[in-house]
Structure 1
Amino acid sequence: MRMATTILLVRHAAHPLLGKVLCGRMAGVELDGAGRDQAARLGTRIAVRKPDALFTSSLSRARDTAQAIADASGLVVQPCEALDEIDFGDWTGARFDDLEGDPRWVRWNGERAKSCPPGGEPMQQAQSRVVAGIHQMKTSYPHGTVVAVSHADIIKAALLWCIGLTLDAHMRFDIDPASSSALVLWDGGGRLMWMNEGVTA
């Protein structure tokens, strides 16, 4: 039997600015009550899978979600820069309603493979770093299960890489708060096992 690593890609739970503000790498974006409840239920579900390691983005909303998983599974939370949110540069902290009239925002959402947030990070660069991080997890846990707590666009970038689609296809599916998606990777290959499984499913 070939050795394989299961990577559970988990989006952080809900926070008060969700759907209103492009938070990006803003500091101090904490889970709200609904988010803490989501994270606790998510932790219980993930603990059943008996994961071997738990990594997280450095941002508060991801760390708090990861801590709920750690509390349920007995794991130690390990920071991983590869899982950090895209740097949205000048757009960080902007309201989505205000961005709608910006032609750069329209281009960013239609051409993720080529465009870049003003003063920020191209999604292609973000994809390269998260894929490199996933490969490192696979190397460290060649027949284990690893939980990686991150952000919607970063998870989308990883999934699109696995299934061989361009970043321009990022709008074809959603990654909801407190959802999990799973990749199974082995030397020379991998597959998507599930995507956007929510805590209420």
Structure 2
Amino acid sequence: MEQLFLVRHGETLHNVAGIAQGWNDSELSDKGRRQVRALAERLATHSPTAIFSSPLGRAMSTAQFIAEATSLEVQTLDDLREMNYGDWEGQSFLDVRRNDLDLYHRWVADPDLPCPSGESHNDVLHRMQRAFTAVHSARPVVVTHGTAIRIGATHLLGASIATSRHLAQDNAALNVFLRRGDRWVLKLWNDTTHCVEPA
């Protein structure tokens, strides 16, 4: 890879409700479809060479908009799935914190501690490392999820996994990384200017 377009799926109904989705799914909202249509039009101007996507529905729906705009086929990689939140999936994060604040804080602080019946931050890190290794294309678009992107970015930039907690990642955001020799350089982060709607 010489340039990587790392993008988050558009807004879903569960995103609006603040519900943890993880490996469960939720449809794109009307706003989410408008977001990814605008994202797809923007990406088409960058002449990407491939599209790789998480197989989860919200990511695939986003990837299909991009495929239509770029005339590229979507290739799926299981390793691009969102963090498996286990027993927390289907609950709001507000309820998770309210019901088990101590465990939630320990999970945030310890990258090796998994969610109940789910994954740890390091589990996601190892998956994202495998996913990036599997992407063989000059300028690929990689469609995935908020936590996966934040954790994957720490790998690309050689930062600690704890850094991921300080990175915002909005729906339909565009992130661009450039290859410079043996390292990645972040050119654009969490950009959603294509999503601006008329007042």
- TM-score, normalised to structure 2's length? 0.90
Q: Who is 2:155 aligned against? A: 161
2:45 to 45, 48, 65: 48
Number of matched pairs: 192
- Runs of 4+ aligned structure 1 residues displaced above 4 Å come to none
**Which deviations, in whole Å up to 9, do the C-alpha atoms of 1:159-187 show, x marking residues without a partner?**
11122222222221201000011222366
**Mapping for residues 35-74 of structure 1, pairs under 5 Å:** 35-74=32-71
User: In the TM superposition, what is the alpha-carbon distance from 1:74 to its structure 2 partner?
Assistant: 0.7
User: In the TM superposition, what is the alpha-carbon distance from 1:188 to its structure 2 partner?
Assistant: 2.6
How far, CA to CA, are the matches of 1:39 and 1:189 in structure 2?
29
Look up the SS of the partner of 1:161 in the other structure.
helix
**Mapping for residues 73-88 of structure 1, pairs under 5 Å:** 73-88=70-85
Q: Who is 2:166 aligned against? A: 172
**Which deviations, in whole Å up to 9, do the C-alpha atoms of 1:33-74 show, x marking residues without a partner?**
000000100000000001000011111110000011111111
How far, CA to CA, are the matches of 1:104 and 1:189 in structure 2?
36
Contact 1:22 1:92 in 2 (8 A): yes
**Which deviations, in whole Å up to 9, do the C-alpha atoms of 1:96-135 show, x marking residues without a partner?**
22111212112222x1523211111111121111122112
How far, CA to CA, are the matches of 2:3 and 2:130 in structure 1?
15
2:139 to 136, 145, 166: 145
Structure 2 unaligned runs (5+)?
Answer: none
**Mapping for residues 117-156 of structure 1, pairs under 5 Å:** 117-137=115-135, 140-141=136-137, 144-156=138-150
2:195 to 178, 197, 200: 200
How far, CA to CA, are the matches of 2:149 and 2:55 in structure 1?
15
* More helix per residue: 2
